[in-house]
A and B are shown apart, each in its own frame.
Chain A
Amino acid sequence: MLIPVLAMHIPDGFLSLPVAAVGWLLLIILIGIALRQTRRQLGERQIPLMGILAAFVFAAQMINFPVAGGTSGHLLGALLIAVLLGPWATVLVMTCVIGVQGLLFQDGGLTALGFNVVNMGIISGFVGYAVYTLVRRGMGRTFRGQWIGAALGAWLGVVIASAACALELAASGTSPLSIAFPAMVGVHALIGVGEALITVAALTFIRRTRPDLLGTTATVAAKGWGWIAAGLLIALAITFASPLADRNPDGLDRVATDHGFVSLEQAPPYKLLPNYTVPFIPEAGVTTIAAGIIGVLVVAGAGYGVARVAGRKADDPAKLPASEG
């Protein structure tokens, strides 16, 4: 179950046509907005810049490092691009990367391309960027805030993207949510750690050699609470939608009880909250939503809390980096 789930490139046939169409619709709308935004933010150089950086992301995804026992971690890159170029440029860059992977190498289907880009490029980028901005805001734009924000953002981006992927599979009737969700999120909670490590290491390298690049267009979008709100909304929306979307709401349990067999729990590899229940709340759907919200709020709160606490112990002004945090 683990290996194909590791890559979130969904092939054709796994998403039902209505679900795939929703993905395409989302993608088209977001590309439209992104094109306008990048023209304003990056100006004339946007085409060669984003094109070459799309090639960069593609190439950088080949760079791996051994994690444990034969598996290796490597980069998805959405949050990295979001920090360096801003979230709207990320939409276009990741569309190119995942689009070319689908078209040239059949890595991911063509009807599924909509949601593939939305999951791996946009959701991971936007949610990650929201966390990044939140943490930096809380830590007063220090360098430490930057790397903690990037680490948390990279991790959560990957995790939420995998949750969305599970959701889409469930909504298509390809896999019951009770199995897809823990499998995807569980595995990607680990994969996300790799993403966080390599993203922070890359940013550290860039900061050492060209710190000016960390203070360019990305900060244009960092004002206001818009991005933070957007990112959290996405994360919450995914959790809200989960039980409603599942076309096999009871999954294995239902079959077992229907046919009078002893209910054999198919233990998910990673159990967050058993059966997504919260004590005192009986209804299954509400329970799932509640557990999801709690999860998201815990992470968001933890991120902000870390930022605040670490920020209070911030280095004295003499040690702050010369360029804009």
Chain B
Amino acid sequence: MNGSANTIEVEQLSYRYPDGTQALENVSLRIAAGERVALVGPNGGGKSTLMLHLNGVLRSASARIVIAGMPLNDQNLGKIRAAVGLVFQNPDDQLFSPLVYGDVAFGPLHMGLPESEVRARVERALTAVGLTSFAERVSHHLSVGEKKRVALATVLSMEPSILVLDEPSAGLDPRGRRELIDLLRTFDQHTLLISTHDMRLANDLCARLIVLDQGRVVADGRTSDLIHDAALMEAHGLESPP
């Protein structure tokens, strides 16, 4: 990695789904290392699609995307996936081993790390999300909040520098939400990009706000400024927090 201050660089990203809908249109953004950015906007606005481009699950032929100093191409794909931890909205989609240990170990195992290192990483990842004794638990039987934290652990074990979270607080009760926000606050070594409908979470955690509507970036600035712009919020299907 070179000493680039920007760890995520997206330039002119457009994406059209196979059925013809234009999901993203000329999206450009730069995120510096260590920043915490909230990505907001109405459903169908393109947030998830954008996120899937950041680790190469979706690819665009025309856009220029550089992650952690590496241009996104076939050679760097493996390394970029180690650098970007992408956590999906539905934890069930990410937990596919019978035991928590298996899921959290998947990333490091795939990377070919030795068994001792894998075990160490699993322990660190579970501790980071507050589930230290959960390794032998059956994923399927956990609560939604616990599953979400395991899902987060499954990417933490790869020790990424960037965390991309898709609607992390969706489906959580107020306590679960509170615990999640407190947990995310502890990740001060990472760059965070969080897509959310929860404007209070955005305000609590992220200094910067990007509004994505109909596949276009319509606003990009300080959360504290944008969030109190009632007209802007309403125009894009958002609510100012009380």
Question: When A and B assemble into the complex, do they touch directly, with CB atoms less than 8 Å apart?
Answer: yes
Q: Which applies to chain A's interface (DSSP): helix, strand, loop or mixed?
A: helix
B98 within 8 Å of A (CB atoms): yes
Residues of A close to B141: CB separation below 8 A: 209
B138 within 8 Å of A (CB atoms): yes
Q: Which of A189-244 contact B (CB under 8 A)?
A: 204-205, 208-210
B140 within 8 Å of A (CB atoms): yes
Residues of A close to B97: CB separation below 8 A: 205
Residues of B close to A208: CB separation below 8 A: 98-99, 138
Residues of A close to B96: CB separation below 8 A: 205
Q: Which of B120-177 contact A (CB under 8 A)?
A: 138-141
Interface centre among A204, A205, A210 (most CB of B within 10 A): A205
Which A-chain residue is minimally distant from B138 (CB atoms)?
A: A209
Which B-chain residue is minimally distant from A206 (CB atoms)?
A: B98
Which A-chain residue is minimally distant from B139 (CB atoms)?
A: A209
Alpha-carbon gap, A209 to B137, bound state (A): 10
Residues of B close to A205: CB separation below 8 A: 96-98
Q: Which of B98-125 contact A (CB under 8 A)?
A: 98-99
Residues of B close to A204: CB separation below 8 A: 98
Number of chain B residues whose Cβ lies closer than 8 Å to a Cβ of chain A? 8
Alpha-carbon gap, A205 to B95, bound state (A): 11
How far in angstroms is the closest Cβ of chain B from A231?
A: 29
Which A-chain residue is minimally distant from B141 (CB atoms)?
A: A209
Residues of A close to B98: CB separation below 8 A: 204-205, 208-209
Residues of B close to A210: CB separation below 8 A: 140
Which A-chain residue is minimally distant from B96 (CB atoms)?
A: A205
Which B-chain residue is minimally distant from A204 (CB atoms)?
A: B98
Residues of A close to B140: CB separation below 8 A: 209-210
Q: Which of B41-69 contact A (CB under 8 A)?
A: none
Interface centre among A204, A209, A210 (most CB of B within 10 A): A209
Alpha-carbon gap, A204 to B96, bound state (A): 12
How far in angstroms is the closest Cβ of chain B from A262?
A: 48
How far in angstroms is the closest Cβ of chain A from B165?
A: 25
Alpha-carbon gap, A205 to B140, bound state (A): 10
Q: Which of B77-102 contact A (CB under 8 A)?
A: 96-99
Which B-chain residue is minimally distant from A63 (CB atoms)?
A: B96
How far in angstroms is the closest Cβ of chain A from B241?
A: 39
How far in angstroms is the closest Cβ of chain B from A126?
A: 29
Alpha-carbon gap, A210 to B141, bound state (A): 10
Alpha-carbon gap, A209 to B139, bound state (A): 8
Residues of A close to B139: CB separation below 8 A: 209
How far in angstroms is the closest Cβ of chain A from B204?
A: 35
Alpha-carbon gap, A210 to B140, bound state (A): 9
Alpha-carbon gap, A28 to B141, bound state (A): 42
Alpha-carbon gap, A208 to B95, bound state (A): 14
Alpha-carbon gap, A13 to B64, bound state (A): 48
Alpha-carbon gap, A176 to B97, bound state (A): 45
How far in angstroms is the closest Cβ of chain A from B135?
A: 14
How far in angstroms is the closest Cβ of chain A from B92?
A: 12
Alpha-carbon gap, A210 to B99, bound state (A): 13
Residues of A close to B138: CB separation below 8 A: 208-209
Which A-chain residue is minimally distant from B140 (CB atoms)?
A: A209
Alpha-carbon gap, A210 to B138, bound state (A): 10
Alpha-carbon gap, A208 to B139, bound state (A): 10
Alpha-carbon gap, A44 to B99, bound state (A): 34
Residues of A close to B99: CB separation below 8 A: 208
Alpha-carbon gap, A209 to B147, bound state (A): 15
Alpha-carbon gap, A208 to B99, bound state (A): 8
How far in angstroms is the closest Cβ of chain A from B150?
A: 14
How far in angstroms is the closest Cβ of chain B from A74?
A: 15
Which A-chain residue is minimally distant from B99 (CB atoms)?
A: A208
How far in angstroms is the closest Cβ of chain B from A120?
A: 25
Alpha-carbon gap, A58 to B236, bound state (A): 38
How far in angstroms is the closest Cβ of chain B from A66?
A: 11
Other A-B pairs, 11, CB within 8 Å; known A208-B99, A208-B138:
A204-B98, A205-B96, A205-B97, A205-B98, A208-B98, A209-B98, A209-B138, A209-B139, A209-B140, A209-B141, A210-B140
A-binding residues in B (CB < 8 A)? 96-99, 138-141
8 A-B pairs with the lowest CB-CB distances in the bound complex, closest first: A208-B98, A209-B140, A205-B98, A209-B138, A209-B98, A208-B138, A204-B98, A209-B141
Can you sample 13 A-B contacts with CB below 8 Å?
Answer: A204-B98, A205-B96, A205-B97, A205-B98, A208-B98, A208-B99, A208-B138, A209-B98, A209-B138, A209-B139, A209-B140, A209-B141, A210-B140
